[in-house]
Structure 1
Amino acid sequence: MDSWRGGEKPMRSQSEATAILGDQRRLPLDQAGGRDQTGAEDGAGSGPQEVPDDRAPRTRRGVTKLPAISLFSGAGGMDIGVDQAGFKTVCAIDFDPHCTNTLRRNARKKTVWNVDVGLLDGERLRETLEMDRGDLGLLHGGPPCQPFSQIGKRGGLSDPRGMLIFDMVRITKAFRPKAVMIEQVPYFLRATMPDGRPVLQALATEFRQLGYRMHAHLLNALSYGLPQRRERVFIVCLRTEHGGFDYPLGNGVRRTVGDALNGMPDPVPPDEKPVLPNHIDVTPPRDRERISYVPEGLWLSKCKDAPPDIIRKLTRKDTTKFRRLDRSSVAPTLRCGEAPYHPTENRYITPREAARLQGFPDTHVLTGPIRGRTGSVRDLDQHRQVANAVPPPMAKAVASSIAETLCR
């Protein structure tokens, strides 16, 4: 088997996906004793049975870019940031067909598979991609956050999706990448295993037994030039010989909603071609009436002048749901079940406007349906793809720090 060293590999078809699927998920969860900085046992356990060459190019701007694999890829936000940091994402995998269609639409010599990550056979995947252990520079992904979401039911590991984060460990065992990067919601830091152990501790133990030290830090999108108040946990795993890891401090740039939306052309209805991809307005007439009662920066429940037939439909959970953005401020966290109101126009923000608030380039095209009103489209529509995505600037900042660490 040829060692993967950055040469061009052929695009692979969806029909090859059966070759990378296993029979079932396999991952033992060991008990832990003492803790290191992440709550994991330090210095015990079986340890790695093989240690691949972990040397990286001396500079991430060198001729050879380290290959990366993306799991739970979504709309590709993390992929964009990782590639901007100097890696080359060669394979992206997600279970949702709208997401994988978006990934294929924007793929540049990247393999995209629409399969369940939980059913992946890591060894078969590695052989299909023609990689040796240790060839992979970075394994990255954002497993489903709903089991740990503050807004959701917080099913944690009782929700089958909660266990998917441990598939990152299973695929790591097959590839032995130089580094691993995982994104999760803040509540993940407090989630517990069925036996009462913190999930973070159990995850760190699993990675430590493969020869990696895990680091976890809560970052805010505001620190990386995004006009959105969005906190996310970024987990970074490096082989133990690398020692510590320094998270990026931020770029010092502060932007507002007005900065992000400035200069955009008028959106068009669905039957017209937009100037910017996905800049399409599908707001129904009844919703426009509701939006018209909401001043800039406020939300519907605060509007006492709205007709009773509109106000009475609000629930206790809708205190900030129907919110109009403020041009002079930052946006709240974009959520997959909501679409904020435009600051000055009586409509929802378009998928392209949402993408700008997340830091996506205008050239990144979304596919799939567009929600007409909150929650009316099944599966992942364009608004939900954006809201669930990892903001590219955040991914770039963390991946750049990983690249610098590997080059030391």
Structure 2
Amino acid sequence: MRAVDLFAGAGGFSTGAQMAGVEVVWAANHWPVAVETHAANHPQAIHVCQDLHQADWSQVPKHDILLASPCCQGHSKARGKAANNPQHDASRSTAWAVVDALEYHRPEFGVVENVPEFLDWSLFPAWKIALELLGYSLAPHIIDAADHGVPQHRERMFIVLARSKSPMGLQLPKRDHVPASAVLDFECGNWSPINKPGRAAATLRRVANGRKAFGERFIAPYYKSGSGLTGRSVARPIGTITTKDRWAIVNGDRMRMVSKDEYRAFMGFPSTYALPARKDTAVHLLGNAVCPPAVRDVLTAIKEAA
């Protein structure tokens, strides 16, 4: 089975496809850094750096399945969804590139990933009708990456598109949850004393509350609120990884930020997956990515049902 990857980003969709035995032959993104990262890890694919509204779909190789992760910022509760916000309206419009691509090539299957709020988009009914007019049935699946062996609770919507009269509802495996402790290295990293000059009062309160709830080792959001005022136990998956470096580890009387390698593992990427040297750039890419193990299970189920 051959696939193309729209809005490929860091390559989570492509990596998951590879895990499922699907060959990714073409990948595109508008951000040069994302394209460079994807190409470094998936050199077999043709890479294009462009706005997909301007894509020439005749130049895209034939494929059996289209993978697409249109911009989610205009739908996400974390970023706001108000209409008439030019940035968010432009973000939401990226979903129409999926229709354009499917209209030209008519592959047998497609998988579109986004936040669950995508289904609440005011133009979702029109988008759905457009795909149905092309012969596709739509089957939304709300999936938590933690149920697929990813050490992170990350709930996303995967719409399975099939050229069939009936929607393709998938029977997905539910794997054991992997705790954050399986990823975190308490012996390495740049630790600093918790009680040091300049430490924010909110951080100190969160650490004190976390110690009462979880003991001497736990994880907590370092900026803003995140997981409330106590943080999270390392015996459960971490909370959702975002595009900002915001998760801290508390270990006794010291703390540090989660490392780039740990973020990669929390997203379910292989340890050999190449990322940009700058941590903030790598975290931005990872926070926008799809978790490969979840993709693996979705595509494996599609192959088995086909």
TM-score band, normalised by the shorter chain? 0.7 to 0.9
Structure 2 CA distance for partners of 1:325 and 1:338, relative to 1, 3 Å: farther
In structure 2, the CA distance between the partners of 1:210 and 1:116, relative to structure 1 (3 Å rule), is same
Matched, 1:225 2:155: no
Find the counterpart in structure 1 of residue 169 from structure 2.
Answer: 246
Alpha-carbon distance in structure 2 between the residues aligned to 1:183 and 1:296: 38
- Give distance in 2, aligned partners of 1:353 and 1:322: 23
**What SS class does the counterpart of residue 149 from structure 1 fall into?**
coil
1:75–1:103: 8 Å Cα contact kept in structure 2? yes
* Structure 2 match to 1:266: 188
Q: Identify unmatched segments of 5+ residues in structure 2.
A: 214-221
Q: Does 1:366 align with 2:275?
A: yes
Report the alpha carbon displacement of residue 165 of structure 1 after superposing the two structures with TM.
Answer: 0.7
What's the % identity of the aligned pairs? 23
CA separation of 1:359 and 1:296: change in aligned 2, threshold 3 A = farther
Amino acid at match of 2:24: T
Partner of 1:42: none
Aligned to 1:326: 233
Q: Which amino acid aligns with 1:245?
A: M
Structure 1 CA distance, aligned partners of 2:2 and 2:198?
A: 47
Contact 2:207/2:230, CA 8 A, preserved across alignment: no
Within the alignment, does 1:336 sit opposite 2:243 as a pair? yes
- Alignment size in residue pairs: 288
Shift of 1:186: 1.4
CA contact (8 A) 1:100 1:114 kept: yes
**Residue number among 75, 79, 88 corresponding to 2:14 in the alignment:** 79
Q: Match for 1:146: what amino acid? A: Q
Q: CA deviation at 1:155?
A: 3.8
User: What aligned pairs does 1:200-211 form with structure 2 within 5 A after superposition?
Assistant: 201-211=125-135
TM-score with structure 1 length normalisation? Answer: 0.64
Q: Find the counterpart in structure 1 of residue 298 from structure 2.
A: 398
Counterpart in the other structure of 1:255: 178
Q: Which runs of 5+ in 1 are unaligned?
A: 1-65, 194-198, 268-280, 303-313, 372-380
TM-score (norm 2): 0.84
Q: Which stretch of structure 1 is more off in the superposition, 386-395 or 114-123?
A: 114-123
User: Rg bigger for which structure?
Assistant: 1
Matched, 1:348 2:257: yes
Per the alignment, in what secondary structure is the counterpart of residue 233 of structure 2? coil
Residues 326-383 of structure 1 deviation map (CA, whole Å, 9 limit, x = unaligned): 3212211111134200242522111211111111110111115223xxxxxxxxx111
> SS of the counterpart of 2:26?
strand
Structure 2 CA distance for partners of 1:337 and 1:154, relative to 1, 3 Å: farther
CA distance in 2, matches of 1:160, 1:226: 31
Distance verdict in 2 for CA 1:288–1:114, change over 3 Å = farther
Shift of 1:225: 1.5
Within 1, Cα distance between the matches of 2:45 and 2:209?
41
- State the Cα distance separating 1:226 from its structure 2 match: 1.8
- The residue type equivalent to 1:71 in the other structure is L
Task: Name the counterpart of 2:218.
Answer: none
Deviations 1:26-75 (A, max 9, x none): xxxxxxxxxxxxxxxxxxxxxxxxxxxxxxxxxxxxxxxx1110010110
Structure 2 SS opposite 1:346: strand
